[in-house]
Amino acid sequence: MSAAEILPEPHTDLESIPAAVARLRAAFDSGRTRPLAWRKQQLEQLVKMHEDHKQEFIDALHADFGKPTFEAYASDVGQGLTEAKTAIKNLQKWTRPERVGGLPLMGRGRVIREPLGVVLVISPWNYPIGLLLSPLAGAIAAGNAVVLKPSEVVPHTSAALARRIPEYMDPEAITLVEGGVEETTTLLEQRFDHIFYTGNGRVAQVVMEAAARHLTPVTLELGGKSPCIVHEDADIEVAARRIAWGKFINCGQTCIAPDYVLVHESKEEALVEALEKSAREFYGDDPKATPDYARIVNHRHHERLSGLLQDGVPAFGGELDPEDKYIAPTVLRQVSPDSAIMREEIFGPILPVLSVKSIDEAVAFVNDRDKPLALYLFTDDESVEEDVLERTSSGGACVNGTLMQIMDARMPFGGVGPSGMGAYHGRHTFETFSHRKAVLTRGTRFDPKIMYPPYSERLAKLMQRFM
């Protein structure tokens, strides 16, 4: 039995949750979180927490599902640190009132960003540090009080966050609630001013239903089946290496991982061979023995993925160890488009490869399914690139690469339709947690009576001329 299995399940006293939210509400109403000095100080504390305890967080991630040190920092722990530093650097600029042109006789217009209030951030288990603390950085920068809810599926990571958040962050305005369904249900019964949820569509429906009772706006970062299209002109060696990296990092447990490949029939054999070559270069002949390959997060998910393996024939991989929650990097062939593995998000190291006769067939295949969180295309033909991007809809896209579209904080990250709503990263996170208030200031020295009833024919002509 592993350490993760014997660790007590995360839990927060249910009766304490309403009082905790009320405490944050009182802090926000008092104006505590509005000053830029408070925001900057809390962001600096978030940076300090990362720097002081990054190894503790990395160790927790490894204990929960064997996440390699490099992946733990580069794709998870370091993500929140980067977002906090970006917010500190840009706080003055982001919060500066935005001047807008006024209309004749109307006055001087500007847009002010104001905090929403008390917000709830619910994070998933696959990247439990970054996907909790990145939204936190933007929420703080916008001047909100924040309730954090990490996933109970990763108990070591949840415990580490529960230890450090109260130590570094203002407990009157930022709090963390541990636990599972009961704690989340109790949280969703409270009134929040925004809910930011990352996870699956089924739970997202529950979140939206709860939010609707209070008319609370939501940001939903979900997933889906992100397709990868390989055109016949693609560099197969490069494509295979980048697809294999994007698929097998974190043992395939990434919301924007390539979920399936549509490759031109003339390149299918070559691509499968190159994928196997890349997997061997990454993880050796025995991926189970390398420290660079993670594990499935728990036995329930391992059992689900083991069942999906039956929907095709492994071109390579397919080895299982339920006790170790291990599934080898696997490529499946002879997969039916109607099989279970093609209907649900895989969220594991299993990659179906299907052949198509043309780009038109690939586009039609993608468009016949829910809009994905990401779309990947490998081609050196700019006309093919523009054609595919114009005829498909996805949360984001990456041409001749995978995953990298989320690395630049200047670009929004979010879904569309069933893959989510709203976006974040960098300034986009700050905007998500802000209200853009329009303010018009008029002078009093000039107040022509023509503007008031009884309205003259001359006024009507002026309005038509200038408006």
**Catalytic annotation, residues:** 221, 255
- Residue 318 bridge partners (DSSP): none
Q: Are 344 and 314 in contact (CB under 8 A)?
A: no
The H-assigned helical ranges of 368-452 are 382-391, 427-432
- Give the tokens for residue 304: 């689900």
Cis check: omega of the bond before 454, within 30 degrees of 0: yes
In three state form, how does the secondary structure of 186-214 look? HHHCCCCCEEEEECCHHHHHHHHHHHHHC
Sheet containing 174-176, strands listed edge to edge, beginning at the edge strand earlier in sequence? 174-176, 145-149, 118-122, 194-198, 218-221, 420-421
Identify the H or E element spanning 149.
Answer: strand 145-149
Cα–Cα distance measured from residue 121 to residue 117, given in angstroms and rounded to the nearest whole number: 13
Return the DSSP state at 186: H
Asked if residues 150 and 123 have their Cβ atoms less than 8 Å apart, the reply is: yes
Give yes or no for a contact between 124 and 95, defined as CB atoms under 8 angstroms apart: no
Three-state secondary structure call for residue 205: helix
* Nearest CA among 223, 184, 285, 218 for reference residue 416: 223
Question: How far apart are the C-alpha atoms of 21 and 31, rounded to whole Å?
Answer: 16
Cβ pair 272, 353 in contact under 8 A: yes
Distance CA 460, CA 450 (A): 10
